A and B are shown apart, each in its own frame.
Chain A
Amino acid sequence: MVTVRLENVTKRFGKVVAVDNANLEIKDKEFMALLGPSGSGKSTLLYLIAGIYKPTQGRIYFDDMDVTELPPKERNIGLVFQNWALYPHMKVFDNIAFPLELKKESKEEIKKKVTEVAKMLKIDHLLERYPYQLSGGQQQRVAIARALVKEPGVLLLDEPLSNLDALLRMNVRAELKRLQKELGITAIYVTHDQAEALAMADKIAVIREGEILQVGTPDDVYAKPWCKFVGGFLGNPPMNFVESTVIRESGELLIGESRIPAPPKYAELLKKFDVSKVLLGFRPHDAEVIELKPNMPDPPMLVGEVFAAEPLGRETIVTVVLDDETYVKVFASKEQKFDVRDKVGIVLDLEKALLFDKKTELVLERAFEKKEFS
C-alpha cells in the first residue's frame, strides 16, 4: 500500500534535538519497530510521520509523494495511542464510526464498515457499550478498529500494549502481528520493550537520544549489534560486556588473569590496527558455565565466582563475578547445580562473540571503517 521514507529528518523543540538527521525507509507491508528507551525521540519520530509535528529539516515521503507539509488528515494514516484515546462519552460503535462520520460517509456505509472491522477484531458484541465498560484488552481492540476503519495506508502504533498486563500483552502481540500480515498494511510501531520489537517486527530501528543507531531485521540487530548500546538494549538478560586488553603478538585477549583467544573474525583486524583496550561482548546464550576441576587441562575461558544462580524452569541464569569485578550473566542447563561462591569457568562461543572499541563503543569493524577508535 505505502512505502514511507524519511530523508535527513531533524526535529528540534527549542534547543532540544528530539530527532537528529533521521534517514529511514519503511517498505510497503513492512512491520517496522521504532525501539528505544523513554525520551529517545521514537514517539516524536512517529508523530512526524503522522504529521502532528512538522520536521525542522528534511523531507518525508509516502511512496513518491512528498507529505512533509501535509496535515495529518490528508496522509491517510491510522494512529493508535498508548492510552488508546477512546472518547469516553461515545459508545464503541460511535468511537469506531467517528473517522467515517468526519468523512461524511453515508449511514449505511458507516454501519457496514464498522461492523466489518468489529467482526475482524472480535468486538462486534461490544458495539453498544461505553469504553469504561470494557477491559483493557477490549479497549485496545476498539482503538485499533478505529484506526483501521478508514482503511489507512499506514498504521502507526504508539506503545499500544504498554497499558495491558503481561499475559494479555503476549496474546495481543501475536494477534496484532497476524492482523498486520493478513491486512498487508504498512505498520510503524513505537515501543521501549525489546522483546515486543523482536517478536513482532520485520525490521527494527534502534533509537537513542534522537539518533537512529541501527536498522535491521530482528535477527541482525540481535546478533550483530553495531554498537554497545544496541547490544545492551536487546535481549533479556542483555549482552555481557567485559573490558579486555589485546595482546597483539599472540592475538589473545587478557581479562583479569584469564587469557582467551580473540574471536577469529577479528584476528586480521587486530593485527592491522593498533588497539589495546577493547570490550568483549557476548550473549548469555553464547557461553557455557563449567565447574573448575583440579588436574584437568583448562580450556581457554574466563574465570570467576558464582554470585547467584536463578532457576527459570527451563534453564538457569548464572551471574558470575569475574576477577576484575565485572558481572556477567550466562544461561546454564537446569541439570547443572551451582552454589554461591563456587569457582567456575565461562567458555565462550568465539564465533558469536563481538569486540567493541572502548572509547566509541562501536563494534570494532565499524570503528575501523569510520576510523574512530582509541
Chain B
Amino acid sequence: MKKYSNLFQLSFFLTPALVIIIVFYLLPLVLTVYMSFTPIRNWNTERYLSQFIGSYNYYRIYHMVKYDPIFRQVMINTIIFVLITLIVNVFGGLLISLATYFINEKSSSTLRLVWLLPRMSPIAVYSLVWYYFFHGSEIGTLNSLLLKLGIIDKPIVLGQGVIPWGPWSIIVFINGLVGVSFGMIVFSSALSHIPRELVIAARVDGATNWSISRKILIPMIRWHILYVFTWQLLSLITSYAHTFLLIEWGLVNRDYGTTLSLYVFLTAFGRGEQDQGLAAAAATILAIIGTVLGFLTLKILKFERMIAKPRGDI
C-alpha cells in the first residue's frame, strides 16, 4: 500500500515535466530519426513518409562530407563559430564579472545591466541594430565611422567581401555579445558568495587585483566556469536565429556564415526545394554530436565531483 501511494506521489509531481519532455522533445526526436530514413521532401508526407530508404540520407551526408565543397565549408564554419564564440562567451563573461567585482556596487550593477541589453531585446531588433552597424556601404555605422576618421577610403563590405574572416567575425561578434551576459550573471553571483575576508586577507598580504583573480577568485568559481562552458557549448551548436536573419538580409555571406544547425533549418524549411529527409539525417547527427560533446566535457572536467556530496565544510 505504501509503495503504491509513493508511486502515486511520484507520478503526480513528475507527470507535467514528463509530458512536456515527451511531447516537445522525445516525440520530435523519434520523428526526426524516423524521417531521416525516408526520402521525404517538400513536406509531401502522403507520398514519401511510408517509403523506407534505409541509410541513404546518411550516405548522402557522408558523400557530401567527402566531395561537396559547400557542405565542407558548413562544417568548417561550425567548428570556427562554436570554438571562437565559446571562448568569447566564457572569457568575456569572466572578464566582465571580475572587472565589476572590483568596482563599487552601484556602477557595477549599471554596467551589468548594459550587458544584459542584447539578451533583453528581441532577436530581430538586435540583429537589425548590428545589420546597420556592419552594413557594407556608407550607411553602415562602422564604415561611416572609419571613413570619417580617414582610416579607409571606400566602404568595406565585411560580411560579403572579406572572406572567410569577414562573415565569421560578424557572426562570432553578434552571438558572442549575447552569450557574454549569461556567463556574466552566473559568475557575478558566484563571486558575490565568496567571503569578503578572503579578498581582504589577500589584499593585506599585498595581492593585486590580478593575483587575487588568478589565485583566489577563479579557482573558487571553477565549477561555475565549467557549467557555463558546457552550457554555452551545447547551445552554440544548436543556435542559428541571429545568423539566419543576417544571411537572409544579405549582410553575411551564405557559404561562409552557414553553420550545421542553420544548414538543417535551411534544408528543411528554406527556399527552393526542401529536403526534409536529408535535414533530418543531419539533425540526427547534430544531436549525436551534441550528446557526445556534452558528455565528454562533463567527463573531462570532472562534473561528477561537482555534484558529489561535500566533504566537510569549506
- Interface segment, one of A27-35, A82-90, A110-118: A82-90
User: How many contacts A-B (CB < 8 Å)?
Assistant: 56
Distance (Å) between the CB of B200 and the closest chain A CB? 6
Residues of chain A within 8 A of B220, CB atoms compared = 87-89
B197 and A132 within 8 A (CB): no
Q: With both chains docked as a complex, state the minimum distance between the C-beta of B155 and any C-beta of chain A, in angstroms.
A: 50
Interface presence of A370 (CB below 8 A): no
A88 touches B201 (CB 8 A): no
Verify if A50 is at the interface (C-beta below 8 Å from B). yes
Q: Which one of B203, B204, B207, B211 has the highest number of Cβ atoms from chain A below 10 Å of its Cβ?
A: B204
Q: Is A229 part of the binding interface, using a Cβ–Cβ cutoff of 8 Å?
A: no
Give the residue name and chain of the B residue nearest to A78 (CB).
B204
User: Is B206 a contact of A103 with CB atoms below 8 Å?
Assistant: yes
Q: Least Cβ distance of A60 to chain B in Å?
A: 15
Report chain B residues within 8 Å CB of A81.
197, 200-201
| B202 and A98 contact, CB distance less than 8 A | yes
A73 CB within 8 Å of chain B: yes
Residue-wise, chain B 218-240 has the 8 Å CB interface mask toward A (1 for contact) of 01100000000000000000000
A72 interface neighbour in B195, B203, B211, B216, Cβ under 8 Å: B203
Rounded to whole angstroms, the CA-CA distance of A99 and B216 in the bound complex is: 13
Query: B47: CB under 8 A from chain A?
Result: no
Task: With CB as the reference atom, state the residue of chain B lying closest to A150.
Answer: B205
Taking the complex as formed, is B312 at the interface, i.e. its CB lies under 8 A from any CB of chain A? Answer: yes
Do A79 and B204 touch across chains, with their CB atoms under 8 A apart? yes
Q: Tell me the complex Cα distance, A87–B201, Å.
A: 10
Q: How large is the interface on B (under 10, 10 to 19, 20 to 34, 35 or more residues)?
A: 20 to 34
Task: Check A52 for interface membership: any CB of B closer than 8 A.
Answer: yes
Does B311 make an interface contact (CB < 8 A)? yes
In the assembled complex, B198 has its CB within 8 A of some CB on chain A: yes
Docked-complex contact B313 and A89, CB < 8 angstroms: no
Q: Is the CB of A88 within 8 A of B204?
A: no
Q: Evaluate contact between A77 and B204: CB separation under 8 angstroms.
A: yes
Q: Chain A 124-141 against B: per-residue CB contact (8 Å), 1 yes, 0 no?
A: 000000011100000000
Is A102 positioned at the interface, with any CB of B under 8 Å from its CB?
yes
Any chain A CB within 8 A of the CB of B314?
A: yes
> Do B219 and A99 have beta carbons less than 8 Å apart?
no
Closest residue on chain B to residue A82 by CB atoms: B197
Give the residue of B200, B216, B312 whose beta carbon is less than 8 angstroms from that of A79.
Answer: B200
- B227 to nearest A CB, angstroms? 17
Q: Are A79 and B201 in contact (CB under 8 A)?
A: yes
Flag if A85 contacts B201 (CB, 8 Å).
Answer: yes
Chain B residue at minimum C-beta to C-beta distance from A131: B314
Contact A87 B198 (CB under 8 A): yes
Per-residue CB contact flags for chain A residues 88-103 toward chain B (1 = under 8 Å, else 0) read 1100000000110011
- The listed residue (B195, B206, B313) touching A99 by CB distance below 8 A is B206
The residue on A at minimum CB distance from B202 is A98
Kindly list chain A residues whose C-beta atoms are within 8 Å of the C-beta of B195: 83, 85
Minimum CB–CB distance for B249 against chain A, Å: 48
What's the dominant secondary structure at chain B's contact region? helix
Residues of A within 8 A of B206 (CB): 72-73, 99, 102-103
User: Please, how many angstroms separate the alpha-carbon atoms of A85 and B199 in the complex?
Assistant: 9
A52 in contact with B312 (CB, 8 Å)? no
Cα–Cα distance between A131 and B220 once the two chains are bound (Å):
14
B250 → chain A closest CB, angstroms: 50
**Residues of chain A in range 63-86 having any CB-CB distance to chain B below 8 Å:** 72-73, 77, 79, 81-83, 85
Distance, CA A79 to CA B196, complexed state (A)? 14
* Residues of chain A from 264 to 312 with CB closer than 8 A to chain B in the complex: none
Return the chain B residue nearest A81 by Cβ: B197
Bound-state CA distance A51–B216 (Å) is: 21
In the complex with contacts A73-B206, A88-B220, A99-B205, A133-B312 CB distance below 8 A = yes
Contacts of A99 in B (CB 8 A): 205-206
Q: How far is the CA of A131 from the CA of B215 in the complex (A)?
A: 16
Write the nearest CB–CB distance from B210 to chain A, whole angstroms. Answer: 11
* Complex CA–CA separation, A52 to B200 (angstroms): 8
Chain B residues with Cβ below 8 Å from A131 are 314
Q: Closest CB-CB distance, A323 to chain B, in whole Å?
A: 52
Within the complex, which residue of B200, B216, B311 is in contact with A87, where a contact is CB–CB below 8 Å? B216
A132 touches B207 (CB 8 A): no
In Å, the complex CA distance between A268 and B313 comes to 62
Interface centre among B205, B206, B220 (most CB of A within 10 A): B205
When chains A and B are docked, how far (Å) is the Cα of A150 from the Cα of B204? 11
* Contact (Cβ within 8 A) A132 B313: yes
CA distance A126 to B211 in the complex (A): 25
Out of B200, B219, B311, B313, which one reaches A85, CB within 8 Å?
A: B200
A50 to B313, CA, bound (A): 28
Q: Name the interface residues of B105-157: CB closer than 8 Å to any CB of A.
A: none
Q: Is B202's CB under 8 angstroms from A89's CB?
A: no
Cα(A297)–Cα(B286), bound, Å:
104
A317 and B95 CA atoms in complex are apart in Å by 62
Which residues of A have CB within 8 Å of B198?
A: 85, 87
What 6 A-B pairs come out closest when comparing CB atoms?
A73-B206, A85-B197, A99-B205, A132-B312, A88-B314, A72-B204
Using a CB–CB cutoff of 8 Å, the interface residues on chain A facing chain B are 50-52, 72-73, 77, 79, 81-83, 85, 87-89, 98-99, 102-103, 131-133, 146, 150
What are 20 A-B contacts defined by CB distance under 8 Å?
Answer: A52-B204, A72-B203, A72-B204, A73-B204, A77-B204, A79-B200, A82-B197, A83-B195, A85-B197, A85-B198, A85-B200, A85-B201, A88-B314, A89-B220, A99-B205, A102-B202, A102-B211, A131-B314, A133-B311, A150-B205
Given A99-B205, A102-B202, 14 extra CB contacts under 8 A: A72-B203, A72-B206, A73-B204, A73-B205, A77-B204, A83-B195, A83-B197, A87-B216, A87-B220, A98-B205, A98-B215, A132-B311, A133-B312, A150-B205
Contacts from B to A (Cβ < 8 Å): 195, 197-198, 200-207, 211, 215-216, 219-220, 311-314
